[in-house]
Amino acid sequence: MSPFTGSARTTDTWQHIRVTREDGIVTVTLARPDKLNALTFEAYADLRDLLAELSRERSARALVLGGEGRGFCSGGDVEEIIGATLAMDTAQLLDFNRMTGQVVRAVRDCPFPVIAAVHGVAAGAGAVLALAADFRVADPSARFAFLFTKVGLSGGDMGAAYLLPRVVGLGHATRLLMLGEPVRAPEAERIGLLSELAEEGRADAASHILARRLAEGPALAHAQTKALLTAELDMPLGAAVEMDAVTQALLMNSADYAEFHAAFTEKRPPKWQGK
């Protein structure tokens, strides 16, 4: 995402998600606890637009996505989305499904690490949002469920059929997407879906500890590592090592690379600038 903007202003208030910022860490909270943070059309759009703005601003060094109340996110709101889609024509349905995919692409394309702090249920679109994150930190009682086939839709929603096999392998992905059965955090950790299994009730705190570690690190190196991880998923080895070589050559001209050498020589911690 280019940092250059035209006339658009930064949004000060988000109506459908809660956003806080502190020392380079952005915390985004899905805040409909009475509905298990079920997503609405507007919440999807706010997430898409927020990630685009943060990507342009270049002030965020890490983002934590969590949910208020008893769970992370129960997916799309049955009444507000599923009910509404029954009355839509094909063009409207395509617009909606493209928007949900844009949210996932924004999570993958933003130049900072995204951490999903999962407690309770992460179901349907909520499970895919967590899947799209760079890190998933969960309570032992958390559970993931890709429920799309349970409502008569394809399990490959919002990029799930692309992302999940690359995280857990084709066999596990087939089981999770085809059957739609929940997988609890201990099994999710075993099959590689989790980055960290926190102590019960500590997923949010553990996510913020990880976010602080990332935010205090070399932001440019993190951004380029994320970009390469995404870009090289479908590249042949020759193209991938060439992209690695070009990226390293650019970063060897960065202030952070010179700062590491200075800090090593002076026997002190590096002062990362993110440039």
43: nearest Cα among 80, 9, 70, 8: 80
CA max distance for the chain:
67
DSSP symbol at 99:
H
**Amino acid in position 175:** R
**Residue 143 corresponds to which tokens in the numbers above?**
């559970």
Q: Contact, 43 vs 37, CB < 8 A? A: no
* 179-210 pLDDT, tens digit each: 999 999 999 999 999 999 999 999 999 999 99
**Amino acid in position 162:** Y
- In the sheet that 18-22 helps form, which strands lie side by side, from edge to edge? 18-22, 25-30, 62-67, 114-118, 135-138, 196-197
Query: What predicted TM-score, i.e. pTM, was given to this entire model?
Result: 0.94
DSSP H or E run through 121: strand 121-123
Distance CA 174, CA 165 (A): 8
**Residue 54 corresponds to which tokens in the numbers above?**
């943060």
Q: What is the pLDDT of residue 40?
A: 95
Query: Could you tell me how many helices (H) and strands (E) the chain has, helices first?
Result: 11, 9
Q: What is the pLDDT of residue 2?
A: 64
Per-residue pLDDT of the chain (275 residues; tens, 9 = 90+): 666 676 667 887 899 999 999 999 999 999 999 999 999 999 999 999 999 999 998 899 999 999 999 999 999 998 889 889 999 999 999 999 999 999 999 999 999 999 999 999 999 999 999 999 999 999 999 999 999 999 999 999 999 999 999 999 999 999 999 999 999 999 999 999 999 999 999 999 999 999 999 999 999 999 999 999 999 999 999 999 999 999 999 999 999 999 999 999 999 999 999 99
* 222-248 pLDDT, tens digit each: 999 999 999 999 999 999 999 999 999
Q: What is the pLDDT of residue 1?
A: 60
